[in-house]
Structure 1
Amino acid sequence: MQIRKWIFSGVFLLCPLPQAMAEGDDSIFRTPSVKLSIVKSTGNTKVSSKGQFDDVPFNSSNLITPVLTLIQPPAYFSDDTRWGYHTELSTTYFELDYDKDDKRYRDGDFEGISFSLTPVLFYQWGDKTLCGHCKSSRLEFGVGLNYLNAEGDLVTDQGEEVIFDSTGFGFNSHIGFVVNYKQWELSLRYVAPTRIDEQDVDVRHALSSIGLGYRF
C-alpha cells in the first residue's frame, strides 16, 4: 500500500467541512464524540482489473473488524420534530476472501483500509440526545464520500499469483436502524452498492453489517 496516499486521505477528510444549518444556534460546528465499534459484515464485492480480469467476486471473511468513528451529536430541524441529522467520519480495516464458487481462480484475498465521510438524515424515537443515561432508537439514511486504499491477489490453478491494488474515491449510501442505550450503540446497516473507479481497477460492493459500539 502507498503510505503517502493514506496520509493525504487522512488530512483531506479531517479538514473541517461546512454543514447545512438546521434550526438551532449552535448546530454548525458541534463537537464530535469518539465511537469505537466492532462490526461483522456480510455481502459481495466485485473487482475488475483492466487487461487482467472482470467482475471477480470476493466475500466477507469471518473477520470481525474494528471501526473508529467521529460522530456529531444529533441536531434537529426544529424543537417539535424528531427529524434531524448528524455527520460522521469513520475509518475501518477490512479483509475479503475470494469466492471459490467462481472457478476462474484457486484462491485469493482483498484487504485494505477505508475512510468515509457521511452526512446522515434520521428519525429518532426516545430521548433526543445521546448521553450517559439516555435511551433512543433511530432510522437513518446516509449518503457520503468513501476513500479506499486496498490491495489483493488471486492464485491461478497453475499456482501463479495475480496482484492488484486499488486506491481512489467513490460514493456510498446506507440505510440503517440504530439502538442507543446510554453510551452503547447496536446497529444494523445495509450499504447500497458502492462504486470506486481508479484507472485500471473498478471496485463495487454491497454489504450488510451488524455492529456494537461504545461512545467515549
Structure 2
Amino acid sequence: MSKVGLLCLSALLLLNPLQTATAMDLATIFRMPAFKLGMAGSAGTVEVSDSKSFSDVPFKSSNSLSPVVTLIQPPVYFGEDSRWGYHTELNIKYFKLDYDNDDARYQDGELKGYTTDITPILFYQWGHKKLCTNCRSWRVEAGVGMHYLNSDGKLQQFDGKKIAFSSVGFGFNSHIGAVVNYRQWELGLRLVVPTRINDDDDDADARHALSSVSLAYRF
C-alpha cells in the first residue's frame, strides 16, 4: 500500500460513523468525530537540509496566525471513575516560516506549506468528562502519530541567486500539551517534539520542534 493510501485509510478509520457495531471495542474505535476550527501561533524553528545544496538551514515561525482544521473523536475513559482517557485527532495546518537571519549564510528565504497528522492522544482530565455546550474541563495530554508534510521553500543568496527546494513526505509526530475546554471553545498549549520527514532523493529533509498556542471552536 502506498503512503498516500495509508494516510487515506487512517482518515477513513477516524471518520467512519459506524454506530451500530455489535462488539463494544468496534463501537469504541469507530466514533463519529466533531469538527473543530481554530487559529494557532507558533514559536520555534524548522531545520531543512538538501543533499545537493545546503544543510541544517533554520527557518523560524513568523508572528502571523495560521488556520488549523481538526476532526476530533469524543473522549473515551478507562473507567467510570477514571480521569484517564484517550481520543484521536486528525489535524490539517497551514504554515509559513521565515529564514532565520541569525544563521547569516543567506540573505533571505521562506518555507511554507501544510501538514496533516493523525494522532492517538492519551490524557488526564479534570472537570466535566464530556465535551458539550455547557461543559468545562482542563487536561494534560500526550500523543504519537503519523505526520505528512508538503512544503516549498526558497533561499536567496547575497549575489541575488535563489535556491528553490521542496520537502514532501511522511514521518512520526509526537506532542505534549495542556488544554482548557469551556463550552464549545478550546485553548491549547502544545509542544511538538522533533519530527523527521522521510525524504526522497529529489526532496529536502525537514526536522522541527515547534510550540504553539491555539484558540479553537468546536462545532
Same fold, TM exceeding 0.5? yes
2:187 alignment counterpart: 186
Q: Structure 1 stretches (4+) deviating beyond 4 angstroms?
A: 7-10
1:209 aligned to which of 207, 212, 217: 212
CA shift for structure 1 position 12: 4.5
Asked whether the equivalents of residues 153 and 165 of structure 2 are also in contact (C-alpha less than 8 Å), the reply is: yes
Give the secondary structure class of the aligned counterpart of 2:28: coil
Distance in 2, Cα, partners of 1:58 & 1:193: 14
- Which structure shows the bigger proportion of residues in helix conformation? 2
Residue of 11, 22, 30 corresponding to 1:14: 11
| Preserved contact between residue 11 and residue 118 of structure 2 (Cα < 8 Å) | no
- For 2:211, the aligned partner's letter is S
Residues 47-196 of structure 1: pairs in structure 2 closer than 5 A: 47-196=48-197
Asked if the contact 1:24–1:78 (Cα under 8 Å) also holds between the matched residues in 2, the reply is no
Shift of 1:11: 3.5
Which amino acid in the other structure matches residue 173 of structure 1?
Answer: S
Alpha-carbon spacing, 1:8–1:155, altered in 2? closer, same or farther (3 Å): farther
Offset, 1:187? 0.3
Superposition TM-score, scaled by structure 2 size: 0.90
Query: How much does 1:78 deviate?
Result: 1.2
CA distance in 1, matches of 2:95, 2:211: 14
Does structure 1 conserve the Cα–Cα contact (< 8 Å) formed by 2:106 and 2:155? yes
Matched residues, number: 207
CA 1:25–1:48 in structure 2 vs 1: closer, same or farther (change >3 Å)? closer
Deviation at 1:30, TM superposition (A): 1.1
Q: CA deviation at 1:8?
A: 6.3
Q: Which runs of 5+ in 2 are unaligned?
A: 17-23
State the secondary structure of the residue aligned to 1:30.
coil
In the aligned structure 2, how far is the partner of 1:119 from the partner of 1:60?
26
Report the identity percentage. 55
Structure 1 residues 97 and 8: alpha-carbon distance in aligned structure 2, compared to 1, 3 A threshold: farther
Measure, in 2, the Cα distance between the counterparts of 1:100 and 1:117: 33
CA-based RMSD of the aligned residues comes to: 2.0
Residue pair 1:112, 1:151 contacting (<8 A) in 2 also:
yes
Please give the TM-score of this superposition, normalised by the length of structure 1.
0.91
Question: 1:127 and 1:105 mapped to 2: Cα distance?
Answer: 51
The alpha carbon displacement at 1:13 in A equals 4.5
Task: Compute the displacement of 1:199 (Å).
Answer: 2.1
Q: Distance in 1 between matches of 2:161 and 2:11?
A: 40
1:82-119 CA distances to partner (integer Å, 9 max, x unpaired)? 10000000101100000001111000000001100000
Residues 25-34 or 146-155, more deviating: 25-34
The offset of 1:176, in angstroms, is 0.3
- Aligned partner of 1:199 in structure 2 is 200
